[in-house]
Amino acid sequence: MILLTFSIFNSSAQDTSYARKTINKLCAQKYHGRGYYKNGAIKSAAFIASEMKKAGLKTLPNQTNYFQHFSFPVNVFENKMELIINGITLTPGIDFIVNADCPSYEGNFTNSTVLIDNKNLDDSAFRDWCAWSTRIPIDKINFFRVFIIDTIKQELEKKYSKWLSDLKANNNTITFVKNKLTWTVDTKSTNHIRFEVKHNLKFGLIKSLNRVSWKVNSRVKFTSQKNIIGYIPGTEKPDSFIFITAHYDHLGQMGKHAIFRGANDNACGVAMMLDMAIYYAKNPQKFSIVFIAFAGEEAGLIGSGYFVNNPIVPLKNIRFLVNLDLVGTGEEGGTVVNATLLKREFNLLDSLNKMNHYLPILIRRGKAANSDHYYFSEAGVPSFFLYLAGPRPSYHDVKDIPRTITFAGYNGTFRLISAFLKELQ
């Protein structure tokens, strides 16, 4: 049976042109990063539903359309985002990001001291600095504590990480970092303004900030979102289900000019899911196969959590779930979350991979709440989350764009999942 399965899927390589077209579409300006700026996620949901219809997917028997609706609050950044330091106007998304929970505020200040700026700071000096800095009164919105985190010795940063985190959480802060700027989504707003700024030669050696002005426009609002669900009835066991899932939302925009397109995270996963829908619509299986594009993943796995709490099919009838996220590379193989929990299933997956060289390697990983498989797994549904590894410096930043997608593991992943699901039956 396994050898027959190999020959079937090795003889028909996937054409990545459909995936590339789908990714380009999902990352287009009209969808605003598939977030909550100008309803980008909702607009992209209509496109995904239309692709499900083109593929020939049916709505589930107790559904009148492809959508499952739910709502949640989210902090949305609107209009112009501005940060000027010492007369230098910074570019949002490239030079700085504002924390996802920041409120709207406009202001400026002069004469601030950089609190951390010493590569040779030892443990004793760091403790003295901690004691001194906590005595500085903070009584105005336009006073910032300023950190140059990359100058702290790694062991000290780790040792005092909780203290630093608490200090930053309860004060207005500007943190200069050498590493990439990584944004996120938040469902709430705080009272504190927090920026991360890329520390580069533009600023030279920062000893103090003489003048900073800023403008943040944000507001928490309720947003109505949609999980998008279609299926192919099984030929022999229509009441038992295989789920293939991928979240379609991303971070959206940080104001007018910083767009987070999310090509790898997760336009790629949606493209592969839709590609598999096209294949299985032409090749029905014994089990029914359900395809779900989840909303709200970046805001805290909200869409998948909603489905698990409001299942359209009984969770006990789900034979297996495969979740696709971050599948745009693959040069270094893939990682399988829940592999250590589902040893028999992973051994099958791994043996298929080794015999056919679909991917360079599959790495076992245990339970992790890092994508939409999680709530299903917690509810007892056997689930894998498969993601790929490769030269992928872009993640939750403005550089995660379609042209960075290599598709090195696309065909192999498609074949591997197809062969695995075939053997499960």
Q: Of 268, 251, 267, which Cα lies nearest the Cα of 32? A: 251
The confidence score (pLDDT) of residue 154 equals: 62
Residue-level pLDDT at 13: 47
End position of a domain, from candidates 182, 216, 250: 216
> Within this chain, do residues 157 and 268 fall inside the same structural domain, yes or no?
no
* The token pair that represents 203 in the structure block: 């600023």
Whether 164 and 272 map to the same domain: the answer is no
The confidence score (pLDDT) of residue 207 equals: 53
So what's the pLDDT on residue 211?
77
- pLDDT at res. 160: 66
Domain count, the chain: 2
Domain closes at, from 157, 191, 216: 216
- Same domain, yes or no, for 174 and 234? no
Range of the domain at 263: 2-76+221-424
Residue 123 has a pLDDT of 59
pLDDT at residue number 169: 74
Question: Phi/psi at 318 (nearest 5 deg)?
Answer: -85, 110
| d(C-alpha 209, C-alpha 223), whole Å | 38
Give me the pLDDT at residue 220, please: 96
Residues 208 and 232 in one domain: no
The span from the CA of 77 to the CA of 100, in Å, is: 8
State whether 396 and 274 are in the same domain.
yes
φ, ψ at 59 (rounded to 5°): -85, 150
Confidence (pLDDT) at 332? 96
108 and 250, same domain (yes or no) = no
Question: What distance lies between CA 24 and its chain's CA centroid?
Answer: 17
Packed helices 2-10 and 343-356: angle between N→C axes, nearest 10 degrees = 50
Beta strands in 207-333 (DSSP E): 208-216, 218-232, 237-247, 252-254, 258-260, 287-294, 318-324
Q: Do 31 and 164 share a structural domain?
A: no
Residues 202 and 288 both lie in one domain: no
For the chain, list residues with pLDDT below 50.
1-13, 114-120, 134-142, 151, 201, 205
pTM, two decimal places: 0.90
